[in-house]
Every structure is written in structure tokens, then in C-alpha cells.
A and B are shown apart, each in its own frame.
Chain A
Amino acid sequence: MYRYDEFDRAFVEARVAQFRDQVERRLKGEITEDQFKPLRLQNGVYLQLHAYMLRVAIPYGTLSSRQLRMLAHIARTYDKGYGHFTTRQNIQFHWPALAEIPDALADLASVEMHALQTSGNCIRNISADHFAGAAADEVADPRPYAEILRQWSSAHPEFSFLPRKFKIAFTGAERDRAAIQTYDIGLHLKRNAEGELGFAVWVGGGQGRTPILAKKIRDFLPHEELLSYVTAIVRVYNLEGRRDNKWKARIKIMVHELGAAEFARLVEAEWENLKGGDLSLPQADIDAIEAYFAPPALPDRPEGDAAVRAARLDSRTFSDWLDRNVVTHRHPDYAAVTVSLKAIGETPGDISDAQMDAVADIAERYGFGEIRVSHEQNLVLPHVARADLPAVHDALVAQGLATSNIDLISDIIACPGLDYCSLANARSIPVAQQIALRFSSLERQREIGELKLNISGCINACGHHHVGHIGILGVEKKGGELYQVTLGGAADEHASLGEIVGRGFGPEEIVDAVETIVETYLSLRHDRAERFIDLYRRLGAAPFKEALYGAEARVA
């Protein structure tokens, strides 16, 4: 796993000291709120409805047990005993006092963590496939490249005041688990016909008020040219992107208005001056970073097959969990385990300090001390011997972390919404909870099959509603909440944007509406192999509109 070098350590420690001084001066009244606000945002500190909020970066969603224990300590010491994992693989604490945040940041720095690049118009914390380094279908681990970009972009003077925030995601597999087409830049690590490593480069994706999927502007970029090419993209954007209108300032608008071909032409022209130069990565540098990400030595554990077979026969709960929450590892004796943070009726992505400590212990004992955060707001133990799966399952059950619902309707992505967020128009969490409770039977959920339901509390779309198979957007109407439903979105390699199905639903109607949609799907699908999204692509919105609004449309 990557460990800070001396430069990183000194840099982060200097930032903590600087911010401590800034907070002290603010509390003494030596600087005004207008002066202080951009400073606190640069350190991940927002002001929300009830209190300040601290957002801590988790680069490419990778954590060690030691770091997760520190997050538990932060939750216990400076917050109210829990944290919230976000769709950007970060964690948020909802209740810290401003006066204590410098202490929290100092504690975080002791385990090489910080809150940099979690706010502001800079290159934000970079995300990656949560199964990176473990997935059986992966070409290569993309995280060393994410780390190279992180080092390059941290406090980079040219790119610290971009027209708007800038988000980059990586995948190392054909199957996109990192939603790269929804990013400003999405990078897909692959091999060409000659077996060389490189990237397909996607640009101009984004959600929010104007959702647009990224366009592929280059099918194969030699991997050593990653920095030169990304620099060319960001430079073109920095020079030509709009700064006059916040809603038009993201790169997606520029790519959309210019067209992908013209945008690519500008980038290639800029790149001509950069490629092969100082920004080309020497193989030795790539190797040095890659060494940090070297997977743990995985001893053969062939007894796993028998252990899993016996446990399957022994326990239906284990068997269900194995089918839903455990995926194939590149080493046949191992598996990657998804730890569900979506217990029925709980807040999606929330985790208590005790649960964090427990996951850290389980990871240490059975998973080489490695944990990942998924953008679907779950945790992952990327390397677990199959022989240890029964023990891991039991340990997770004891913590309420073994709900067998990954990719099912109760595995809901939900932003904090109006229960916490000062930008929200409506609540997200209670809607997620009520839907999960309505479909609480796991048997019924399995019968429905893969169904991604995403909820955002406002048009900023932190809850990824545009790319949910079923998306729910909360809006404010006449002082109350109203929920708009979109259908047909997807965030994988076949990404699509959901379409609004019709008028919105009140808080008392939305769960019924979701059930109607699900029942309509069940009544029309060919068989279980036809997932909700497949059926929507075959039949479109018409049957759902009829089921939701038919009677009312006929009356009108």
C-alpha cells in the first residue's frame, strides 16, 4: 500500500499547522468569515445544517486497518460516534466543532490521512475501482497511476484555481465499477494488441444540473504519457473553460459545446508540445510507485473449496451472502468481500465507530489489513482466503454488516440530503430507509434481481440519481418535499442517463411508486435473466408511465 514519502509527510504536517493557526486567528476575530471560508474549504471543512462537517479524503478508496481505526477514533473523539461514506469514496463527519478540527487533522496526519482536495475548484481526490488489485477481470491495478496523478495534482499551482472542481476516476477492467463515464476525466487502463499498457481516455462526463456522459477522445494513450496528456486536457480546459457562469463552468459543458472531436483536436495539439518531455513518466518512477501497491503475498489456501462447500450446506444465510457479497479474486483460493453498509432500515453509508474498529480487526486478521471504500457506499475486503469466508461472515454478522443485498434494490446509494446538507431540497435517507423496509424480504429482493436505486436530495446529484436504474431526485415544492423519478440510468461500461418518467411524488407516495415500477418490471420480464435495466432498454418508459399514471391520465 502506498506510504507517504518525506515530501508528503512534511507537506501535510505543514498544512495542519497552517490551518491550526488560521482557525485560531478566526476564533480570535483576526480574520473575517469571508477570508476564512475559502481556507476552511481547502481543508475539507464545510458548514452544514446542524454543525460543521469534515470531509476526509480516501485516495482511490484504499484504507489500511490502522487508518480505519483512526477514523473510528475521530468519530468517537470529535464527532458523535459515526461517519458517513460518500459516493466519492471519502468519509464525512457531521458534527465536529471548528475549534477541535485542527486536532482531528493532526490525528489523521499521524496515519497519513488528510482532508486536502475534498473541496474547491481543484483536482479533487481521485477515485478508482474498489476491487483494484484483486479483481479477476483486471488488466492491471490502476491505483499506481491514480497515485501518480494525486502526487502531481496535490496543490499544483496551475490547477488549484480551475473554473470548477475537477474529478478523475480510474478503472483497470473492461467492466467499469468506478463509473468513469460520469467523471471529468475517466481513465480505463488496458492493453493494446502488442500487450503494452495504456489508457482509453474519456472526458467531459458529469452529473449535477446538466448530466452528460463522458466521450472517449483517445482509445489508447501509452501509459507513460498519462501526465502529459492529462496536463494537456486540464490546460485546454483551464484556458478556455468558462468562468463567467458557475453552471456552465465544468469541462462537460466545454466538451459538449465544442464537440468531442474538436475538443480532442485541441488536446492533441497541446499534447504535441508536451509528449515525450518532462512529463513523460520514466519506467523507473512507475515501478517505484507500483512497488507500493504490490499485492500482499497470497499463500495458496486450497482447503477453501471444501470449507466453503461445507459452510454452504450448513447455513442458508452464509450461502446467500456468498452469492451476493463475495466476488471472484484473481487468485483462485481468494475472494473479495463486500461489507454491506446498507442494513435494512439504516442510513446508507453510515458506520459506527465500533463497526469501524471491528472491520479493521477483521481486515487485519483475515484480509492483510486492507479495506476499500466503494462509490456505492459499502466497504470491501479485497483479499480474503476462501477458507476464511465462514469466519469473516460470522464476524460481520455480529456487527450487523453482513446484509446479503449487494446490487439489490436495498443496496441504495443515498446522499445525506435535507437531514444534514445545507444545499438540500428534500430528504434522501428516510426515502432510502422506507424503500429498503418495503422490500425488506431478501427473498423478494433476490427475485427482483439486480436493481440499482439511487437518491439525491438536490440537483447536485451526489446520490448519482441520473445513473440509477431507478433514480430519485428530491425537490422542494410549496415548502414540502417532492420526488422526481428517472428510469433507465446506468453507471457501468454501458452507461446511460435516466429519463424522467412523469410528475413527481410526495413523500407518502414515493415508496408506492417504486413498488409499482418494480411490479411492472416483474410482470413484463421474459425471465430472471432479463434485469430491470435490460427490460427498460427493450420496452422504454411506456409501460411504467401507464402503470404509474395510466388511470389518472385517462381521467384527465
Chain B
Amino acid sequence: MKVLTANRLFDGEAVWLAADHSWAETLPAAHVAHDEADEERLAAHGKLSAARNEVVDVELIDVQLVDGAIVPLRLRERIRAAGPTVRGDLGKQARAVPALAAA
């Protein structure tokens, strides 16, 4: 299972591609690709969006579903989705609807 992630060009915010092809600021809103065809569609959209100068550093990352929540396999991506583990007051984790915890 994969989701497509990137950083928004103008402010660097970590974002994930949602089902409606918008870039969501939190991981739970991401569209999860369950098969290769779906992954390719995501990647193609990412390429297009990068070419439109909306985002940079586009990447497909591995995730799993834990009790229905999207959890990246790599700690690096869990930290991107949450914020610094040493500053709970910063990053996505500090928002009103908290994203998942990193570690």
C-alpha cells in the first residue's frame, strides 16, 4: 500500500495527495493506493503537479492500515506526518484535529 507525498513549493509544508487530487496537509486525508495501477495514477498526478510548480520532492511511500488509520512504514515518514517528536507543540500534531503520533 502506498500514498503519494511531497512538500508544497511556496512554504515547504509536507502534503499528501487526496482522492480528489488536491494536496492535503494531513496524512489521514491521503488516498491509499492498493494496487500498482493505482500507484501509477498517483505517481503520474504527482509528476504533473510538480511540473505545474505546486509541489517538490514528490515520492510514493509505503504505508499500512492500523485500525483503519494510515501509518507509514518508515519512522521518517511518521515524523513528517506528525511533526518533531520533541516538540509536540509544532507540526501537524499540534493542530486541533491531531494527526497520528510519530513514535
**Is the CB–CB distance between B75 and A479 below 8 Å?**
yes
Residues of the B chain whose Cβ atoms lie less than 8 Å from the Cβ of A433:
86
**Is the CB–CB distance between A97 and B11 below 8 Å?**
yes
Interface centre among B13, B56, B76 (most CB of A within 10 A): B76
Given contacts A419-B86, A420-B84, contact A98 B76 (CB under 8 A): no
Residues of the B chain whose Cβ atoms lie less than 8 Å from the Cβ of A419:
79, 84-87
Task: Name the contact of B76 in the complex, choosing from A28, A418, A430 (C-beta under 8 A).
Answer: A418
Asked if B28 is an interface residue, CB under 8 A from chain A, the answer is: no
Residues of the B chain whose Cβ atoms lie less than 8 Å from the Cβ of A48:
12
With CB as the reference atom, state the residue of chain A lying closest to B10: A99
Task: Name the contact of A27 in the complex, choosing from B10, B74, B79, B87 (C-beta under 8 A).
Answer: B10
**Is the CB–CB distance between A26 and B75 below 8 Å?**
no
Given contacts A29-B53, A480-B75, contact A51 B12 (CB under 8 A): yes
Given contacts A50-B14, A99-B11, A419-B86, contact A33 B73 (CB under 8 A): no
**Is the CB–CB distance between B79 and A33 below 8 Å?**
no
A137 to B79, CA, bound (A): 46
B55 vs chain A, min Cβ distance (A): 9
Asked if B83 is an interface residue, CB under 8 A from chain A, the answer is: yes
Asked if B7 is an interface residue, CB under 8 A from chain A, the answer is: yes
**Is the CB–CB distance between A52 and B52 below 8 Å?**
no
A32 to B91, CA, bound (A): 27
How does the 8 Å CB contact mask read for B26-56 relative to A, with 1 for contact and 0 for none? 0000000000000000000000001011001
How does the 8 Å CB contact mask read for A391-423 relative to B, with 1 for contact and 0 for none? 000000000000000000000000000111000
**Is the CB–CB distance between B56 and A50 below 8 Å?**
no
**Is the CB–CB distance between B80 and A50 below 8 Å?**
yes
Residues of the B chain whose Cβ atoms lie less than 8 Å from the Cβ of A97:
10-12
With CB as the reference atom, state the residue of chain B lying closest to A29: B53
On chain B, the number of residues with a Cβ less than 8 Å from chain A's Cβ atoms is 25
How does the 8 Å CB contact mask read for A415-453 relative to B, with 1 for contact and 0 for none? 000111000101101100100000000000000000000
Interface residue ranges of B83-99 to A (CB < 8 Å): 83-87, 90-91
Residues of the A chain whose Cβ atoms lie less than 8 Å from the Cβ of B86:
347, 419, 427, 429-430, 433
Asked if A80 is an interface residue, CB under 8 A from chain B, the answer is: yes
**Is the CB–CB distance between A49 and B80 below 8 Å?**
yes
**Is the CB–CB distance between A424 and B76 below 8 Å?**
yes
Chain B's interface: helix, strand, loop or mixed, by majority?
loop
**Is the CB–CB distance between A479 and B57 below 8 Å?**
no
**Is the CB–CB distance between B84 and A479 below 8 Å?**
no
B68 vs chain A, min Cβ distance (A): 21
**Is the CB–CB distance between B13 and A51 below 8 Å?**
yes
Interface residue ranges of A313-334 to B (CB < 8 Å): none
B93 vs chain A, min Cβ distance (A): 11
Asked if A136 is an interface residue, CB under 8 A from chain B, the answer is: no
A427 to B86, CA, bound (A): 10
Residues of the B chain whose Cβ atoms lie less than 8 Å from the Cβ of A52:
11-12
**Is the CB–CB distance between B75 and A481 below 8 Å?**
yes
Residues of the A chain whose Cβ atoms lie less than 8 Å from the Cβ of B50:
33
Given contacts A49-B79, A50-B91, A419-B79, contact A26 B85 (CB under 8 A): no
Given contacts A50-B91, A51-B11, contact A29 B52 (CB under 8 A): yes
A48 to B59, CA, bound (A): 14
A101 vs chain B, min Cβ distance (A): 10
Asked if A47 is an interface residue, CB under 8 A from chain B, the answer is: yes
A341 vs chain B, min Cβ distance (A): 15
**Is the CB–CB distance between A98 and B53 below 8 Å?**
no
Interface residue ranges of A2-35 to B (CB < 8 Å): 26-29, 32-33
**Is the CB–CB distance between A479 and B10 below 8 Å?**
no
A96 to B79, CA, bound (A): 18
Asked if B19 is an interface residue, CB under 8 A from chain A, the answer is: no
Interface residue ranges of A41-63 to B (CB < 8 Å): 47-52
**Is the CB–CB distance between B9 and A50 below 8 Å?**
no
With CB as the reference atom, state the residue of chain B lying closest to A481: B75
With CB as the reference atom, state the residue of chain A lying closest to B73: A479
A477 to B5, CA, bound (A): 23
Residues of the A chain whose Cβ atoms lie less than 8 Å from the Cβ of B91:
50
With CB as the reference atom, state the residue of chain A lying closest to B94: A80
Residues of the A chain whose Cβ atoms lie less than 8 Å from the Cβ of B9:
26-27, 33, 98
Besides A26-B9, A430-B86, A479-B74, 4 more A-B contacts (Cβ < 8 Å) are A47-B57, A51-B11, A97-B12, A429-B84
Q: Write 10 A-B pairs (CB below 8 A) sorted by A numbering.
A: A28-B53, A33-B53, A49-B14, A49-B80, A50-B84, A51-B7, A51-B12, A97-B10, A97-B11, A419-B86
